Structure 1
């Protein structure tokens, strides 16, 4: 099932956590939920990342380089950054089918000092279950992150102080 990128604003119910709603094109998205990751989620998140790394093309060296992203996600479960959860999980009922780690602020490389001073969220890592690739869950996580960080919509931007 394909969802056009232009529908990302309409793809959510307006809350920073909650059910992903039907798109404006009339296609109905799977009933995914986004919630903060907790320490108790460590094992299923590790299994998801292991499954994803095993499905990636390329050599073992390439997959080994992604281990740092895996470590970021698993070690930051249950940790807050700037008063907000760092790791967010995409779930289908009780099953975790995706995860992302978000850091408050802009990482220095490639951005001017003025740009780094603006409120922002940086995606440090994102993994999805390859068994759900037909629904393109990474797209849902990115849509959610955009909504979560957008001014006037997501809970992140509403309480973030600008400099």
Structure 2
């Protein structure tokens, strides 16, 4: 069965494999990828603060990762919003071989449930593509702000934290028969490339 757990340095090769698989998927569709930075991005799994999480099977196979931070980035949000307890999601990436099972949605719901258990009011995230806005809306997130940042528009989104009663069933379904299907409508099952690359550049 799949579950979310904190990433460790040992997960770095598996996380890099997921990033490269998603990069191939993006490139086949004429979309930008983060192939050149895959190794550096995967090393975020070594973060001793433990804010990187992996979606992994009992046998250790990793099919997704995301970063959960305790603080909302200060730009783009009002002072009142910044004072609200919230978790912020960065750099969510999934293995495209599992996209029909929507692991990105499972990770998002896990984050919503975890935020509620930790007494947070919101789960927030941002992206640079309207397609990702539509995708995140299918996960229950709402567009809160559109912010012009240098030469790009950043879409800031949020969803109220709440308990997700069928979360265990969703994790179990990831091991179902459709896991390796090549046909799926989930075009935006990875998080914003721009956010991920931006976070990498800020750490350089």
User: Is TM > 0.5 for Structure 1 vs Structure 2?
Assistant: yes
Is 1:58–2:46 an aligned residue pair? no
Q: 8 Å contact 2:18–2:64 — kept in the other structure? A: yes
Aligned to 2:135: none
Match of 1:92 in 2: 57
Gaps of 5+ in 1: 1-30, 158-163
Alignment of 1:99-118 (within 5 A): 99-118=65-84
Which stretches of structure 1, 4 residues or more, deviate above 3 A after TM superposition? 70-73
SS of aligned partner of 1:77:
helix
Residue-by-residue CA offset, 1:56-94 (whole Å, 9 max, x unaligned): 1334xx224x867x578523324254xxx2111111222
Distance 1:119 1:74 in 2: 28
C-alpha distance 124-71 of structure 1, shift in aligned 2 (>3 A)? farther
Distance in 2, matches of 1:123 and 1:140, equals: 13
Tell me the equivalent position of 1:133: 99
Distance in 2 separating the partners of 1:80 and 1:143: 24
Residue 49 of structure 1: CA displacement?
0.6
Q: Which residue of 2 aligns with 1:20?
A: none
Root-mean-square deviation (Å): 2.3
Aligned counterpart in structure 2 of residue 77 of structure 1, from 45, 49, 55: 45
Give the CA deviation at 1:32: 1.6
3-state secondary structure, aligned to 2:97: helix
CA distance in structure 2 between the partners assigned to 1:71 and 1:48 by the alignment: 11
Mapped contact 1:78–1:86 kept (Cα < 8 A): no
Change over 3 Å in CA distance of 1:88–1:105 after alignment to 2? same
- Aligned mates of 2:47, 2:15 — CA distance in 1: 15
Deviation at 1:97, TM superposition (A): 0.7
Tell me how far 1:122 sits from its aligned partner: 1.0
CA contact (8 A) 2:22 2:95 kept: yes
For structure 2, the 5+ residue unaligned runs are: 121-204
Number of residues of Structure 1 aligned to a counterpart in Structure 2 = 117
Cα deviation 1:82-122 (Å, max 9, x = unaligned): xxx21111112221011001111111232101211222111
The answer to whether the aligner puts 1:34 opposite 2:1 as a matched pair is no
Distance 1:72 1:36 in 2: 18
In structure 2, the residue matched to 1:48 is 18
Report the counterpart of residue 143 of structure 1 in structure 2: 109
